[in-house]
Chains A and B, each alone.
Chain A
Amino acid sequence: EPEVTQTPSHQVTQMGQEVILRCVPISNHLYFYWYRQILGQKVEFLVSFYNNEISEKSEIFDDQFSVERPDGSNFTLKIRSTKLEDSAMYFCAMAGTSGNPGEQFFGPGTRLTVL
């Protein structure tokens, strides 16, 4: 089964600091997503990325957030100036161009704790 990896598994940071969360995608998957999940709550969409550009973003994805594929493989989410309410689990996910359209492959997540 395809595997998505994310680093770090846990990130602790001070409020106002920048963090970069990384995701290593599955080859042949072209659609990339970032979701977040505050503890005990639902999974919330942040941004989708296709063909090296943002295809859609949610209201949560404000100017503090950015995404990129710096080297054509890794997929990163940057939060420029973290806030306490950014504490959450961040999942990257991806989908291919074939197979089940209802299936996205999720990485194991990065737990971000903002102090």
Chain B
Amino acid sequence: GQSLEQPSEVTAVEGAIVQINCTYQTSGFYGLSWYQQHDGGAPTFLSYNALDGLEETGRFSSFLSRSDSYGYLLLQELQMKDSASYFCAVGRGYGQNFVFGPGTRLSVLP
């Protein structure tokens, strides 16, 4: 089967750092992606890890441990516009569909 777990909600204040965890159990694993989705919007790509370690893209970083079937998204210097839902998604091969996690709703408070 395919299952991904994420916390349902996270709240933080502007300027803070927040970490959103994701654990997964899937048949086949190629890499772990992270997507952001604002209310009423489409998922937009943030970050991707195929190998263990940390990937940094501006204020966003993503980490993967394949042996632990675990990853996280780290958001630094939080801004109000970061309030959105964040989904981890497992890719099972190039061109294959993603299996999405349940999503974490991040609320950034002033």
Contacts and interface: CB of A to CB of B under 8 A. Distances in A.
Interface of A: 30-31, 33, 35, 41-45, 48, 50, 55-56, 58, 91, 95, 97, 100-109
Contacts of A109: 42
Contacts of A33: 97
Contact of A42 (B30, B96, B102): B102
A53 B87 CA distance: 28
29 contacts: A30-B95, A31-B95, A35-B97, A35-B100, A42-B100, A42-B101, A43-B43, A43-B89, A44-B100, A45-B100, A48-B95, A48-B97, A55-B95, A56-B96, A91-B42, A95-B95, A100-B45, A101-B30, A101-B48, A101-B50, A102-B33, A102-B49, A102-B50, A103-B33, A104-B45, A105-B45, A106-B43, A106-B44, A108-B42
Interface of B is mostly: strand
B41 interface: yes
Contacts, number: 64
Report, nearest first, the 7 A-B pairs whose CB atoms are least far apart: A102-B48, A102-B33, A106-B42, A43-B100, A103-B45, A45-B97, A31-B95
Contacts of A107: 42
Nearest to A1: B44
B31 A48 contact: no
A33 B99 CA distance: 12
B44 A45 contact: no
Nearest to A108: B42
A106 B87 CA distance: 14
Contacts of B95: 30-31, 48, 50, 55, 95, 97
A107 B41 CA distance: 9
A105 B35 CA distance: 11
Contact of A101 (B31, B47, B101): B31
